[in-house]
Amino acid sequence: MAIRDIIEGKRRWRAHLARVRALPPDYQIAYKEIQRYLFKAGPAGLAGEGLLAGIVDFLAEGAATGRGVLELTGNDVAGFCDGLISPSRQ
C-alpha cells in the first residue's frame, strides 16, 4: 500500500466521521453502537466504507424526514445489524 493510498484512506475516513458528527445526537449514538457491533461481530470486510457510508445515508435520510432513530433501527441494535449482514453470511 502506497503512502498516497494511506493518506487518501484517512481523508475519506475523516470525511465519513464529519458526516456522522452532522447527525442529531441520538442518531450519532445509534451509529456508534452499530459501528461497534459490526467491527466486533460482522464478517471481515463488511464493516468497511461501503456499508458504514450506507448506514450514515440511511440515518441522515431518517433524520431529514423527522423520524426517530428507533423507528428506523428498532430497539435491538444487534438484531438490526444482523439483518443487514445476514445475506452475506450465507
Instruction: Break the chain into its structural domains and give their ranges.
Output: 3-89
- Tell whether the model's pLDDT for residue 88 goes beyond 60: no
Per-residue pLDDT reduced to its tens digit, 11-21: 998 999 999 99
CB-based contact 42:83 (threshold 8 Å): no
**What is the predicted pLDDT for the residue at 51?**
85
Kindly report, residue by residue over 30-75, the tens digit of the pLDDT. 999 999 998 888 666 655 568 889 999 999 999 999 999 999 999 9
3-89 classified as CATH 3.30.70.100: no
- Look at residue 84 and tell me whether its pLDDT is greater than 90: no
The burial of 46, by beta-carbon neighbours within 10 Å (0-12 exposed, 13-18 middle, 19 or more buried), is given as: middle
The answer to whether 37 and 79 have CB atoms below 8 angstroms apart is no
Cα torsion through 69, 75, 78, 83, rounded to 10: -70
